[in-house]
Amino acid sequence: MVASPRSFSLRYMQDRSHSSHSNEVAIEFIAASYATAESGTLVSDLNLKIRGGETMILLGRSGAGKSTTLKLINRMLDPTCGQVRVLGKPTVDWEPTELRRRIGYVIQEIGLFPHWTVARNIETVPRLLGWERQRIATRTNELLQAVGMPAQEFRNRYPHELSGGQRQRVGLARALAADPPILIMDEPFGALDPLTRAEVQYEFRRLQEKLRKTAVIVTHDLVEALTLGDRIAVVEEGKIIGDYSREEFLYAADRVSPAYLDSLRAAEPLLRRLREQPGA
């Protein structure tokens, strides 16, 4: 692991019981389905194991059931069939609030509380958990530092005073605040412009290299999937049609993955044509 100039700020950030790559299964879907009367079956017969410290990408098109899958993890939804086990227990045996306080949650819209300052936003879960004031304050400063936003400058600002990238960094810091073993992210960088997205992705990857959270990230962006993921599960019509390592994904032969790779390759001929025939 490359030492980062900011690594000093991370000294309290590692929770050893969860940090290192372990072979323990942190999240497991066992024949899990989710259906509603209005929308029909959104997720069907899902089987997936996510190990501690692993970053799992759920890749698929809009409406494929990725967000639903994510919500089954933190009990925003309960499976209508089968089981989802998180940290050794079926989700339905968890008190929802207790489970959710152990799972950092980042959504595309971020959902920062507009009436609270940046610091107060980040303190949400530690306060719910009843941490001491001093511990909360230290932690907040650390986290702001870790996402590249100096505490002095930013802690007392309100969300509307931040740029999109800064807001998403705060969203990330807020999700990490109570050092949850698991992080779930629903298109976390989807609303950012490409340059800001790349920056925040880099920031996240750097953090994740240190923290080694069990992370599940929903995206439809292949570059993001290949940049951030250890493994990539391809979701289509509520089913997982493939579960690959990054390297395996390049040779995946399911009915969706080749198309994803083609879409990535499509850029190259375009660039070549522009280079070879300027003005054409």
Q: Which residues bind another protein (CB under 8 A)?
A: 74, 76, 96-101, 105, 107, 109-115, 124-125, 128, 158-161, 167, 174-175
The nearer residue to another protein, 107 or 234, going by C-beta atoms, is 107
- State the nearest-atom distance from the C-beta of 112 to another protein, in Å: 5
The nearer residue to another protein, 93 or 161, going by C-beta atoms, is 161
The nearer residue to another protein, 144 or 162, going by C-beta atoms, is 162
Residue 81 contacts residue 33 (beta carbons within 8 Å): yes
- State the nearest-atom distance from the C-beta of 72 to another protein, in Å: 13
HSE (CB half, 13 Å, CA atoms) of 85? Answer: 15
Quote the DSSP letter at residue 63.
Answer: T
- State the nearest-atom distance from the C-beta of 70 to another protein, in Å: 10
Q: Which residues contact 121 (CB under 8 A, 6 or more apart)?
A: 112, 113, 159, 170, 174
- State the nearest-atom distance from the C-beta of 23 to another protein, in Å: 27
Q: Which residue has the tokens 């289509």?
A: 236
In this structure, is the dihedral angle defined by the CA atoms of residues 9, 15, 20 and 26, taken in order, positive or negative?
Answer: negative
The nearer residue to another protein, 173 or 222, going by C-beta atoms, is 173
Please tell me the distance from the alpha carbon of residue 79 to that of residue 255, in angstroms, as a whole number.
26
Report the alpha-carbon angle 109-180-72, nearest 5: 60
The CA dihedral of 229, 92, 108, 206, to the nearest 10 degrees, is -40
- State the nearest-atom distance from the C-beta of 260 to another protein, in Å: 27
Helix ranges (DSSP H) in the chain: 16-19, 66-73, 96-101, 118-122, 124-128, 133-146, 151-154, 164-176, 194-211, 222-228, 246-249, 257-265, 267-276
Token pair belonging to 55: 């970053």
The nearer residue to another protein, 6 or 101, going by C-beta atoms, is 101
Q: Which residues contact 270 (CB under 8 A, 6 or more apart)?
A: none
The nearer residue to another protein, 98 or 153, going by C-beta atoms, is 98
The nearer residue to another protein, 71 or 231, going by C-beta atoms, is 71
- State the nearest-atom distance from the C-beta of 94 to another protein, in Å: 11
- State the nearest-atom distance from the C-beta of 164 to another protein, in Å: 10
